[in-house]
Copies of this chain bind each other. A is one copy, B any other.
């Protein structure tokens, strides 16, 4: 049984990191040869030298110091990713895709969480730069590049995910918000819902939310038989949400009522609120939410969702980055994936159908 604490105790004297010099000495060759061995120029070495170096390396447990390497070579095989909110499954799923590609290409992913704090975001951007990451995947919380300090003269290529950044046109990978929202809204209307509310977190200038909201109202305008409005909520104010939803439910309206939730977090909160209001999910109100989550099917009669290909979004983002790293200087690419409607009980008005959908 080895004890970390003890071994740490030794470390001051004993465990000092072994360097290329020691390997060279142990193998009775020059640093250069060791470096060549490491750098994939082994064919330049005699068999004897190579074996000797190999032996010394494993014997001493040598590992090259990437800091020194990075300093010398100017690149680090490091990719940075800043996400606006780790607690949002969307971010995690995207990150998962990004990571897969990183691994495939020998990059290491460094993930930072800005917690929806612009200042933290800016700081992380700087930190990543100072660690010489080769590229950055950014799920931004800032809405304008102006708030991101030196981002404009950032050396490393940046790929935006999900949300765009005003005044800063880079590669962007996300959802086709117009198509997706139109699909969702039309679906509600097709199902016979007439009185719709678009529930979102405070718009705050986030491109994603704005686009979805715009598309919602656009669709409504094509359907004069329907009514609809936007409800922007404060994530931490459950009471207000309850209040608003209660009003909505008890108000006169154009007909059957439904909620369109702009992301997974909101979907969850709307569901919780409906529960608190004592509603049967989803008897007298429809619900469709952006973001497919593992529990979507299990709540009430099942929640109809717009699924984003999160994993693919991550892959595509990383793909953009790799191109830039390979020297691509062409105009920024904007990739928008289509959302996929998954119909469940929450938008099934006919009871017999509903049973089937659930």
- Chain A residues within 8 Å of B, Cβ to Cβ: 1-9, 11, 15, 17, 61, 63-68, 70-71, 76, 78, 86-87, 89, 92-93, 95-96, 99, 103, 108-113, 120, 124, 126-127, 129-132, 145, 150, 152-155, 157-158, 167-171, 268, 271-272, 275, 281, 293-295, 297-300, 324, 328-332
Chain B residue, CB-CB nearest to A66? B130
Q: Is the beta-carbon distance between B130 and A332 smaller than 8 angstroms? A: no
B71 x A324 contact (CB < 8 A): no
From A96, which residue of chain B is reached at the shortest CB distance? B86
**A107: min CB distance to chain B, Å:** 10
In the complex, which residues of chain B have a beta carbon less than 8 angstroms from the beta carbon of A78?
Answer: 131
Contact A3 B169 (CB under 8 A): yes
Q: Which B residues lie within 8 Å of A65 (CB)? A: 71, 130, 132
Q: Which of A66, A95, A145 has the most CB of B within 10 A?
A: A66
Query: Can you list 10 contacts pairing A with B, beta carbon distance less than 8 Å?
Result: A2-B152, A4-B154, A4-B168, A4-B170, A5-B324, A63-B126, A63-B129, A65-B71, A67-B76, A268-B294
Tell whether, in the assembled complex, residue A332 and residue B92 are in contact, meaning their CB atoms are under 8 Å apart: no
When chains A and B are docked, how far (Å) is the Cα of A297 from the Cα of B89? 18
Bound: A200/B143 CA distance, A: 44
Nearest neighbor of A113 in chain B, beta-carbon distance: B99
Query: Copies of this chain, how many?
Result: 2
Docked-complex contact B7 and A152, CB < 8 angstroms: yes
A2 cross-chain contacts in B, Cβ below 8 A: 145, 152, 167-169
- A153 touching B61, Cβ below 8 Å: yes
Shortest beta-carbon distance from A63 to chain B in Å: 5
With beta carbons under 8 angstroms apart, the residue of B93, B111, B168 that contacts A110 is: B111
B272 A297 Cβ-Cβ under 8 A: yes
The chain B residue with its CB closest to the CB of A269 is B294
Q: Whose C-beta in chain B lies nearest to the C-beta of A145? A: B2
Residue of B nearest to A152 (CB): B2
Chain B residues within an 8 Å CB radius of A93: 87
> Which has the most chain B C-beta neighbours within 10 Å: A67, A110, A155?
A67
Q: A15-B155, A298-B272 are in contact. Are A171 and B67 (CB under 8 A)?
A: no
* Chain B residues whose C-beta falls within 8 Å of the C-beta of A61 in the assembled complex: 150, 153
Contacts A4-B332, A130-B63 known; A268 to B297 CB distance under 8 Å? no
Assuming the A-B contacts A4-B158, A332-B3, are A71 and B67 also in contact, with contact meaning beta carbons closer than 8 angstroms in the complex?
A: yes
B99 near A108 (CB under 8 angstroms)?
A: no
Find chain B residues with CB under 8 A from A113 CB.
95-96, 99, 109
Nearest 3 A/B pairs, CB to CB: A4-B170, A295-B295, A111-B111
Residues of B within 8 A of A275 (CB): 297-298
B103 and A95: CB pair below 8 A?
Answer: no
- Contacting residues, chain B, for A17 (C-beta < 8 A): 155
Residue on B nearest A9 in the bound complex, by CB: B329
Question: Does A92 contact B99, Cβ atoms closer than 8 Å?
Answer: no
Complex CA gap A324/B330 in Å reads 49
CB of A83, distance to nearest CB on chain B (Å): 10
Report how far A158 CA is from B5 CA in the complex, Å: 9
A5 touches B298 (CB 8 A): no
